[in-house]
A and B are shown apart, each in its own frame.
Chain A
Amino acid sequence: MKRKLIAAIGAAAVLTGVAACGGSSDSKNKSDSAGPADFKGKTLNVWLMSGSNPPGWTKDITAAFQQKYPGAKLKITVQQWDGIQQKLTTALSESTPPDVIEVGNTQTPYYAATGGLKDLTSVKSAIGGDDWVPALNGSAVYNGKQFAAPWYFASRVVVYNKKIWSAAGITTPPKTQDELFSDLDKIKSKGTKDAFYLPGQDWYGFDGFLLDAGADLVKKQGDKYVGNLDTPQAAQAIDLYKRLNSYGTAPKDKDEATPQQSDVFAKGDVGAFLGLGWEASGAITKNPALKDQVGFFPFPGKTAAKPAAVFVGGSNLAITQGSKNPELAQDFLTLAMSDQFEGELAKEGGVVPNKASLDSQLAGNEFGTASSAAAANGGTTPLIPAWGNVENAPNPITTLFMTGVLQGQSPSDAAKKADAEIDKRLSQQ
C-alpha cells in the first residue's frame, strides 16, 4: 500500500518536472523582426557602471530617447565595478553584446586594443566631439583613433558628517593635513569609532596620495612600463594612507565597495570618508536624516597653498563593435553627449563634464565644487592597453602592496612583491 503511494508520488514528480521543462525554454525570445526604419520592438542595451547614472538623468534621457524612437526601448543595466573586466571581455565576444557600454578611463585603452569597441573617428563631430576638453579625451583615443566618447570625470574628496564634526567643536574644514589630523583626533576623543573610514584597498585614493608625493604607480623604462612602488614617495604615500586608516575600523583587506562605504556612512556614526558625489547622495537616500549634514572638502595638501593632488577618475561611453543597433547606439551617444544631458549629469551627479562650457553647471553642487577644485591638480594611470591587466583581480597594488603594508610589512618588501607582479602583467598582452 505504502509502496504504491510512493510510486505514485514519484511518478507525479516526474511528470510535473517534465511539464515544467517544456515551459522553460522560451526565456530568450526576441522579436528582432523589425525593419531598419521601424524601431518597434528594438531594444537598445546600455551598460552603465554603479554610481554613474543619477535617477533624474536616467529618467529624462530614457524619456527623450523613447520620444525620438517611438516603440524602441532603452534598457539600462547597472554593472558593478568589481569583476567588470571579466564580464565585459566575454560580453564583447558574444554575438549580441550590449550596444553601448560605459568603460572606465583607465580601462579604455585595453578594450580599444581588443577591437571590441567601434571606431568613432568619423562620427566624432556628429556626436558633439569638437568641444571636448583635449586632456579629458585622452583615454578615449587609441592609436590616433577615437574609440569612445569622454563622458564625465570625478575625483575623490573628503565627505564628512557635519553633525559629528561640529560636536567635536570644529567649524571650518581643515586646510592642511596637520589640521586634518588634529581635527580627527578631536573627533576620535569624542568617542567616534570611525573618525575617518578608509578601507585598505581604495587604490584610487592611494594613487592621489602618491601623485601628491610626486610619483606615479608605474614608470617608463626604455619603451616599456614597470612598477614603481619601491620608492620613497610610495612609502610616504602609504604611510599617510595607513595613518588615515587607523582613524577608523575600516577593514584593511577590502575595497571601498565591500561593503559600500556609502552604506557605512549612512549609519550616521562615521566622521568622514574619501568618496564621490554619488556615494554621498546614496548615503542620504538610505538615511534621509543625513540630508543637511553632509559636507565636502578637497583632501588638504601639506600646506594650505593648494589641496593635495588626486586621481582623476572618469568614464567613457563606447559603442560595441558587435552592436546590432549601431544607429540607435550612435544616437544615444549623441543624446548623452548633448549639452542638455551632459549638463544635467554634471548638475545632478556633481561630476566634471567633458566640455569647459558646461562647468558652470557644477555651481551649487557642493561635491562638484570641491571635486573640480581638487581635479585641477590631478593625474591618472598610463593610457596603455596593458594597464587593464593590472586592474584585474587580485590587483597587485591593493592586495600585495596596500594591504601588505597596512598589515605590517615594510613598504619596501611589499613594494617589491607588487612591482614584480605589476611588471609581469604590464608585459602581457
Chain B
Amino acid sequence: MALLDVKGVTLTFRGLAALLSVDFSVEQGQIASLIGPNGAGKTSMLNCISGRYHPDEGSITLNGRDLLVMAAHDRVTAGLCRTFQNIALFKGLSVLDNLMVGRHTRMEYGLLSSMLYWGKARRSEDLHRGRIEQIIDFLGLSPYRHQIAGRLPYGVQKRVELGRALAGEPKLLLLDEPMAGMNLEETEDMARYILDIKEEWDVTVLLVEHDMGVVMDISDHVVVLDFGQVLASGTPAQVQIDPEVVTAYLGSENRSFLGR
C-alpha cells in the first residue's frame, strides 16, 4: 500500500477550481516530485495535505489514516511535516529553538511542569536536545546554533527550515520549493540533503520544485499537474517524453491553449 494516497481531491475557491479530482500516490521510501507550470495547483495540493486548505471532495490518507478528519496541528503526529515556499521560520528564536519547536509534539509535559522546570520537563528537554544536535550535525548548522534565525543568510534559513521539519521525525516530508532562490552550490547541497534524508533517515519525500534539473535527477516518481489536473505521472524518463507534458511546458502550435 502506498504511504500517501490522494484520491479524487477537488478544491475550489468560490467556484474556481484549483484542483480537479487529483489522484496520485507516493510509495514508501520514494522521492516524489510534484511539478507543473505556475498556478497549476502544486502548493494548493500541498496545503490540502498539510491541512491549511480543506478540499471539497476526495480523500487523502497517510499510512492508511485519513488526514482530512484531523486538524492541521494533529497531522504531525500522523507523521507529516512540511516546509514553506517562502521562508516561514520563527524569526525571533535561535536556530536551536526553531528546531526544538519542531519537536513540540514529541515532548509531552504539561504547563505546570514547564513553569517549575522540574522532573519530566527537565529530562525531556535534555533528551530532545540530543536528538536536535544530530539534526544540527547532519545539516551543518553548528556554527549558527545560538544565532537568531531571522538574521541568518537565506540559504542557511532554508536549511534551518528543513531541519525544523525533520525534527518532527516525519514519515512523509513535504518540501515546497526547497531550492527556490538558491545558487548552484546551495542547490546541490540541498539536493544532497534530500537524498540523504531519504537514505539515512528513512523519510519519504514529496517535493514541489521548479528546478527541472534537480527534479529529474533525484526523483523516483514525478507527478505533473496543470490547471489543477494530473497531466502525467511516472518515472522522470517517462514524464519527460510525454507529449501532454511537453505541450504544457513548451506550448504547441496545433492545439488551442484555451480550448482545454
A binds B: no
